[in-house]
Amino acid sequence: MEKFSTKDIVYKYKFKFSKNLGQNFLIDDSVLEDIICAADISNGDLVIEIGPGVGTLTRELLNRANKVCAIELDSGLIPILQEELKDFPNFELIHGDALKTDFNKLIGDYSEVKFVANLPYYVTTPIISKILTEDYKFKSLTIMIQKEVGERIAAKPDCKQYGALSILVQYYCDVSVIRKVTPDAFIPSPKVDSIVIKLDRLSEPKIVLKDKKLFFKIVRLAFNMRRKTLWNALKPLKISKVDMELAFERSSIDPRRRGETLSIKEFGKLSDSIHELL
Ligand code: SAM
């Protein structure tokens, strides 16, 4: 099968990039190879790709996977993808918004799915949250995202990048940083640096919780005003002073600490102690 470069396809179809859709297409083969290698695709795998663009990454995935479902929002790209990838019987193209897609319909009878994407940066966090929290049978997410967001995802306590997003992702997944990527790896070049990360789903979430909703509420409150002590940050929970003192005591956490110093396990202990008093 003849293979054209990203630039060839863009010129061939006179494609006009849309800034609003986060269209920065990959032109660096070494980044492509690193994404493919990290994604670790084998011939029984189902892959879901979000935002295939002109199909640069898609083609490499199709060469390795059992099936690739790609979801693309831009109607201008649909005929290009249909034409360029028409020789792959294992390709399913969905014209739609990944944020509104029920991935279970695509997963069907497959036991699990691997997500791979050079994500449109304007929807990175909502897409990751959707995949993690909607209980899909995913094995991994190998994604290229804005470097700053990747650093927040991988951050550990006591650094300024550590926050609610770090905890959400690390509760469900092991995070590996694959490589950094400079703007010249794309057309057009974005204004920011990028990073490739891999999220491997843990067989069980990192901690056992009595009340997951309460845990994430506490995490959100703790980071909403990150300079506040936990004692002050958790006031919106409207729990009596006596009960709050007891919860901090039972979880052995000093209420004068700030949320950014707590590990996921410590947030879990605090949340369980508060849950017991409700
Ligand atoms: N995968 C291609 C590559 O690596 O060259 C393109 C990546 S580009 C950063 C992001 C792609 O996502 C674009 O093709 C864009 O049209 C598409 N896109 C943007 N928002 C989307 C959404 N909500 N759902 C699905 N695709 C979207």
Rounded CA-CA distance 220/201 in Å is: 22
CA-proximal residue: ligand 1, atom 3 (nearest) = 25
Residue 60 in contact with ligand 1 by CB distance below 6 A = no
Does residue 147 sit in the same domain as residue 254?
Answer: no
Does residue 25 sit in the same domain as residue 152?
Answer: yes
User: Of 181, 201, 221, which residue is a domain's last?
Assistant: 201
Does residue 240 sit in the same domain as residue 190?
Answer: no
pLDDT tens, residue by residue, 55-83 = 999 999 999 999 999 999 999 999 999 99
> Is 54 contained in some domain?
yes
Q: How far apart are the first and last CA of the chain?
A: 63
Mean pLDDT (whole number) for 136-145? 97
pLDDT at 2: 55
**Which residues fall in the annotated binding site for S-adenosyl-L-methionine?**
24, 26, 51, 72, 97, 118
From 6, 73, 121, 192, the mutation candidate for ligand 1 (largest count of ligand atoms within 8 A of CB) is 73
Contact status, residue 29 vs residue 186, Cβ threshold 8 Å: no
Contact status, residue 104 vs residue 81, Cβ threshold 8 Å: no
> Is 1 contained in some domain?
no
Does residue 102 sit in the same domain as residue 133?
Answer: yes
Does residue 99 sit in the same domain as residue 68?
Answer: yes
- How many angstroms does the Cα of residue 143 sit away from the middle of ligand 1? 12
Does residue 239 sit in the same domain as residue 186?
Answer: no
User: Of 147, 171, 201, which residue is a domain's last?
Assistant: 201
> Is 86 contained in some domain?
yes
Mean pLDDT over each residue of the chain, to the nearest integer = 96
> Is 185 contained in some domain?
yes
Residue 50 in contact with ligand 1 by CB distance below 6 A = yes
Please list the residues that pair with 173 across neighbouring strands.
Answer: 201
Does residue 185 sit in the same domain as residue 268?
Answer: no
CA-proximal residue: ligand 1, atom 20 (nearest) = 21
Mean pLDDT (whole number) for 155-177? 97
Angle at 227 between CA 226 and CA 230, to 5 degrees: 75
Ligand 1 atom at minimal distance to the Cα of residue 18: 16
> Is 207 contained in some domain?
no
> Is 61 contained in some domain?
yes
Domain that residue 269 falls in:
212-277
Does residue 186 sit in the same domain as residue 150?
Answer: yes
Rounded CA-CA distance 194/157 in Å is: 22
Helices (DSSP H) in the chain: which residue ranges? 6-12, 29-39, 56-62, 78-84, 103-107, 124-133, 147-154, 164-172, 212-224, 230-233, 241-250, 264-277
pLDDT tens, residue by residue, 245-271 = 999 999 999 999 999 999 999 999 999
Number of domains comprising the chain? 2
Mean pLDDT (whole number) for 115-135? 96
- How many angstroms does the Cα of residue 264 sit away from the middle of ligand 1? 32
> Is 273 contained in some domain?
yes
User: Of 160, 182, 201, which residue is a domain's last?
Assistant: 201
Does residue 147 sit in the same domain as residue 220?
Answer: no
Residue 1 has pLDDT above 90, yes or no: no
pLDDT at 278: 83
pLDDT tens, residue by residue, 211-235 = 999 999 999 999 998 889 999 999 9
Does residue 230 sit in the same domain as residue 117?
Answer: no
pLDDT tens, residue by residue, 2-33 = 567 999 999 999 999 999 999 999 999 999 99
Q: What is the CATH number of the domain that holds 222?
A: 1.10.8.100
Q: What is the CATH number of the domain that holds 97?
A: 3.40.50.150
- How many angstroms does the Cα of residue 118 sit away from the middle of ligand 1? 7
In whole angstroms, how far apart are CA 135 and each of 75, 138, 235?
Answer: 29, 8, 31
Does residue 136 sit in the same domain as residue 243?
Answer: no
Does residue 169 sit in the same domain as residue 224?
Answer: no
Residue 29 in contact with ligand 1 by CB distance below 6 A = no
pLDDT at 226: 86
> Is 206 contained in some domain?
no
pLDDT at 179: 98
Could you give the percent of the chain with pLDDT greater than 90?
96
